[in-house]
Structure 1
Amino acid sequence: MANKVFSFGEEFGFDAVEDNFNWSEKVWESMDKVNGGKYFHQEDLSDEDFNFSQHQQQQVSFSENGFLDDLQFHAASPPLHTCLEEIAKLGEFPTLIPEVEPRKRKRQRFSLASLELLKNYGNRFKQFNGDRVTEPSNDVACTKVEDPKLSTEEIVRLAGAKFIQSTSQAADGPSGLSHPFHLDFCGLSDEERRDVELAESLFASAEKVGSQQFERARKFLNQCDHLSSTTGNPVQRVVYYFSEALREKIDRETGRNTSKDSGKRPSINVEEELMSSSPPTLAAHEELPFSQVTQFAGIQAIIENTVEARKIHIIDLGIRNGVQWTILMQALATRCECPLELLKITAVGTTSKHLLVETGKRLASFAQSLNLPFSFNVVMVSDMLDLREDLFELDADETVAFYSAYILRSIITWPNQLESIMKVVRSINPCIMIVTEVEASHNSPAFVSRFVEALFFFSAFFDCLETFMKRDDQNRMITESKFFGEGIRNIVAAEGEERKIRHVKIDVWRAFFARYGMVETELSRSSLYQATILVKKFHCEKSFTLDMNGKCLITVWKGTPICSLSAWKFLSQQQKGQ
């Protein structure tokens, strides 16, 4: 079983690309150029010449408690805002929303949200609006541009724009959508037209939930039921799960219990599921590019920071099934200039110790097959507040590295636990800390803000699944239901401490780590090269792109950021390396 689980590494180990790291200075200089200030595409890259783009890092100003405000640890939830008011902040839609002064004043009657949602979505909408869809006007005949099919996120953005237009036209009449689907859908295929209508119904229902018009929201959700499906195209699938989440939100608000399958849905511990080596978990790892891209690039950074260490101690804050460490093992097994005396991995956990032990056994078996000296420890605490430095078996002559993949997000709800972890990390003072997190804003206390942000994010993810897995693939369906479906329900329907999924973007994490004296360090050229060749392996260079936000690597699916990879050191370590 161990060989089956970790077999992917045989095809794609570090030794396969080792010779490509020693490139000329001319090649390295080319990496510093900005490729038009946007995303770079791997089809333009060769092993000898490639460019990384780098966005201007946004300045983030925080007061003494500003970071806590941004994370929304204790912030009181403001009044719910209508979906119209939120989506109206998409950006500029001059062909869809006429600048009529009376109508503009009427929109100002809504409570203005403090968050500026979807400016990026609005900008990207204008891109495909010009290339793919020609909006009808009084003067120009409608023409269809023969371009590739719209992505799932583009369909959703178009539905949002149509929703704005429909509601704007009805603004002087009764509140709501008197006839939301009367607009022309010039340039769209029949399937795309139906998908836009379906997504527009979802927007309409969310708007009614946001204004607490629950019965009217249910009517729109009934329309969604007729067209959405767990086995259809990506738009139908993502609408199905968001519709379910909205129904649960209504039930929570009204005290009713009428959601489909309510009472029949088993309680799912997502983190425990991800710790197992179940077929859906392994399939998602092997068939989707995100995990492998960040794992190879992040572990390359660990290798470079432990190159002279004879004893390496990895502390993994969320090891899950441990497949990532087979990459490190293969690299260390071929290291000749500094033979390894011991690789020690310590897994930190609060539940499911038996799964952590099983992970350790698989890793030990894999290390034995490579003749690699290895030990595995488990540090179990009932609460992260109980985490202490003396729980780790630390040796004076070992080099320690921390690895945190999608773990810190899960404890944003409890800032004292997050602070406890960081104090322990600081006391141990590792040579490097690798952090991978979801690059999204799903932490707003306002329901509509979370709904809109989550809808666009998961639309991109469902679109990605369509690319790599068949629609009737059982692993895909389980992944969508167990992992994505549960995530959507928690983001949209839950409030308070029950809302455990609270993604924040890299700028927020930067401000947080700075409080503990941590500084972001450059990902090496070798690490970035690892990422690019993994993208090529999946043959998705046009859809899956890489972006640099400062020193952080962002993985992007068709323009939507998915996750971030960053490397951190404490100031003392940074000064030693200078």
Structure 2
Amino acid sequence: MLTPTTSARDRRNNLLTTQEARHIAHTQTEQLRNEIILAKVLESARLFHVNQKEEAYKKASEVLSLTEPSGAPLHRLSRILMNGIQRRCYSQTEFLGNLYNDETNPIAMIKAYDVLAKHTPFIRFAYNAVNLAILAKACNTNRLHIIDIGIGLGNQWSALFALLQGTSFYPKKIHITGIDIPGTESTLNDVRDKLVNEAKDVGIEFSFTPIVAKAEQMAFKEIDRSSGEFLVINAALALHHTPSGDAIKNDQFSRAALLLQLRQLEPQLLTMVEPDSNHNLTSFEDRCYEAFQHYMHIFNAFEYLFPRHLKERAILENDFFGREIINIVTADGPDRVERHERKEVWAKQMQEAGFAHIDNIFERTGRTLRNIVPTSPPFQIFQSNQALCLGYNNSPLLAASCWRSAA
């Protein structure tokens, strides 16, 4: 006969076994549900691609009925893409994934970008990895000239000046040629004023030349140069916007032609940071799946870093990264401006243009970088043959690399 103690232990063990079984069943159900959602997402994208828009719209509606707006990352990303496809089903020209559209409050966008810059490692890694490389190569030069393709708000150079605070090992004269797309004239003037003041605080003789143009349409040889300057060309999260594949209307304005132009300037250093994903020349099915996997890593990172109902997280997901994946999946030809490549592909393109990879530079700066951008699992900073990478759960998201003119 069982004692009361033994009977209580058995009941507890049975309860635990029941709870474990329920947990396993729930997990398996969720996994199956997620597989169904992903299959429907990819099918909706395929239907849209082959111009079966009514069926694509219906399939997107099925996904929306299975997902929660503030749910798990898979739900959130799926809803963004399906809403984008539904809007594109009845519009050929609207909502192609233009990041800064009129529907988004610019102040809210700035606040969301501030969250991205300060509370995630993405921007800090991108800027500081190459800034430290620039200082490692140019710290003893008298005059540093940086041609920055896609300067944006100039925050990378604010980060550079912050690195120089309290040190004496830096170029005494820095000139930046800041390039950005048409429509940014006022912003470039604001960037100039900001950087002039920041450089003054550090004690650097600083000058700035704004250029409003698409990089692939520029004549880089016409940029003013000074004798004896150390020339750096910087492209942080910019080159993937240049025409490649079916986006090329004129070979003269292609990505390959741009890289050849940059090589002809004979820079002592070219620094670049790019998303490490393949969204350019693959088949539609591969492009769609690859894009979904890449952005799932980013959305999973947000799940790790931010509460689900944070307003800035929703803006980052919908109005930054969400628009990118909509552009990748629903646009073709010149309309598809998000054309990311794997680091191996970039390496091949750079070598074909006449650049040589600079080895070991990140080994010299790695300890300082990890102090500025401390990472712990699920984030990692690691070196590959082609680049220094920022990863999430060992999947590379960003790749920084340094190049010089080949002999």
| Normalised-by-shorter TM-score class | 0.7 to 0.9
What residue number does 1:524 align with? Answer: 362
What residue number does 1:300 align with? Answer: 132
2:162 and 2:75 mapped to 1: Cα distance? 42
Distance 1:144 1:492, change over 3 A: farther
Query: 1:210·1:448 contact (CA, 8 Å) conserved in 2?
Result: no
**Out of 171, 181, 188, which is 1:350 matched to?**
181
**Out of 349, 357, 360, which is 2:192 matched to?**
360
**Out of 388, 399, 405, which is 1:564 matched to?**
399
Q: Once the 2 structures are TM-superposed, how far is the Cα of residue 563 of structure 1 from its aligned partner?
A: 1.3
Which shifted more, 474-483 or 364-373? 364-373
The superposition leaves residues 256-306 of structure 1 with CA deviations (integer Å, 9 ceiling, x where unpaired) of 45x9xx97x698444999x99821222211111122123212111111111
The reply on whether 1:477 has 2:309 as its aligned counterpart is: no
The reply on whether 1:533 has 2:368 as its aligned counterpart is: no
1:383 and 1:278 mapped to 2: Cα distance? 25
Q: Once the 2 structures are TM-superposed, how far is the Cα of residue 213 of structure 1 from its aligned partner?
A: 5.7
**Out of 158, 162, 166, which is 1:326 matched to?**
158
What residue number does 1:416 align with? Answer: 252
Query: 2:145·2:176 contact (CA, 8 Å) conserved in 1?
Result: yes
Count of residues paired in the alignment: 380
Match of 1:324, SS?
helix
Matches within 5 A, 1:451-462: 451-462=288-299
Q: Once the 2 structures are TM-superposed, how far is the Cα of residue 195 of structure 1 from its aligned partner?
A: 4.0
Query: 1:296·1:527 contact (CA, 8 Å) conserved in 2?
Result: no
The superposition leaves residues 150-182 of structure 1 with CA deviations (integer Å, 9 ceiling, x where unpaired) of xxxxxxxxxxxxxxxxxxxxxxxxxxxxxxxxx
Query: 1:316·1:403 contact (CA, 8 Å) conserved in 2?
Result: yes
What residue number does 2:323 align with? Answer: 486
Query: 1:142·1:186 contact (CA, 8 Å) conserved in 2?
Result: no
Match of 1:400, SS?
strand
Match of 1:476, SS?
helix
Distance 1:488 1:564, change over 3 A: same
Distance 1:517 1:382, change over 3 A: closer
Distance 1:219 1:420, change over 3 A: closer
Matches within 5 A, 1:176-575: 186=25, 188=27, 194-206=33-45, 208-209=47-48, 215-248=54-87, 251=89, 256=90, 268-270=98-100, 278-336=110-168, 340-351=171-182, 352-381=184-213, 384-390=216-222, 392-411=223-242, 412=244, 413-414=247-248, 416-417=252-253, 418-444=255-281, 446-522=283-359, 523-536=361-374, 541-572=376-407
Query: 2:48·2:330 contact (CA, 8 Å) conserved in 1?
Result: no
Structure with a larger share of its residues in helix: 2
The superposition leaves residues 432-483 of structure 1 with CA deviations (integer Å, 9 ceiling, x where unpaired) of 1111011101113632221111111111111111122222222221111111
The superposition leaves residues 217-250 of structure 1 with CA deviations (integer Å, 9 ceiling, x where unpaired) of 444322211233443321210110121244356x
2:181 and 2:87 mapped to 1: Cα distance? 29
2:97 and 2:51 mapped to 1: Cα distance? 27
Distance 1:375 1:271, change over 3 A: farther
Which shifted more, 417-426 or 483-492? 417-426
2:189 and 2:110 mapped to 1: Cα distance? 16
1:432 and 1:321 mapped to 2: Cα distance? 22
Gap runs ≥5 in structure 1: 1-140, 148-184, 573-578
Distance 1:271 1:217, change over 3 A: closer
The superposition leaves residues 285-328 of structure 1 with CA deviations (integer Å, 9 ceiling, x where unpaired) of 11111221232121111111112202111111111111111232
Q: Once the 2 structures are TM-superposed, how far is the Cα of residue 554 of structure 1 from its aligned partner?
A: 1.8
Query: 1:244·1:489 contact (CA, 8 Å) conserved in 2?
Result: no
2:299 and 2:391 mapped to 1: Cα distance? 13
1:568 and 1:142 mapped to 2: Cα distance? 59
2:96 and 2:380 mapped to 1: Cα distance? 37
What residue number does 1:45 align with? Answer: none
Q: Once the 2 structures are TM-superposed, how far is the Cα of residue 550 of structure 1 from its aligned partner?
A: 0.5
Q: Once the 2 structures are TM-superposed, how far is the Cα of residue 518 of structure 1 from its aligned partner?
A: 0.6
2:122 and 2:170 mapped to 1: Cα distance? 32
Distance 1:314 1:213, change over 3 A: closer
Query: 2:140·2:171 contact (CA, 8 Å) conserved in 1?
Result: no
Distance 1:339 1:474, change over 3 A: closer
Instruction: Return the TM-score normalized by structure 2.
Output: 0.82
What residue number does 2:10 align with? Answer: none
Q: Once the 2 structures are TM-superposed, how far is the Cα of residue 365 of structure 1 from its aligned partner?
A: 1.7
1:283 counterpart letter in structure 2:
V
2:363 and 2:215 mapped to 1: Cα distance? 38
The superposition leaves residues 29-50 of structure 1 with CA deviations (integer Å, 9 ceiling, x where unpaired) of xxxxxxxxxxxxxxxxxxxxxx
1:526 counterpart letter in structure 2:
R
2:284 and 2:132 mapped to 1: Cα distance? 39
Q: Percent identity?
A: 20
Distance 1:271 1:503, change over 3 A: farther
- RMSD over aligned CA atoms reads 3.3
Distance 1:494 1:371, change over 3 A: same
Match of 1:504, SS?
coil
Q: Once the 2 structures are TM-superposed, how far is the Cα of residue 556 of structure 1 from its aligned partner?
A: 1.3
Instruction: Return the TM-score normalized by structure 1.
Output: 0.59
1:428 and 1:240 mapped to 2: Cα distance? 45
Gap runs ≥5 in structure 2: 1-16
1:203 and 1:419 mapped to 2: Cα distance? 31
Distance 1:554 1:383, change over 3 A: closer
Match of 2:27, SS?
coil
2:22 and 2:252 mapped to 1: Cα distance? 55
2:192 and 2:159 mapped to 1: Cα distance? 15
Q: Once the 2 structures are TM-superposed, how far is the Cα of residue 380 of structure 1 from its aligned partner?
A: 2.7
Q: Once the 2 structures are TM-superposed, how far is the Cα of residue 209 of structure 1 from its aligned partner?
A: 4.9
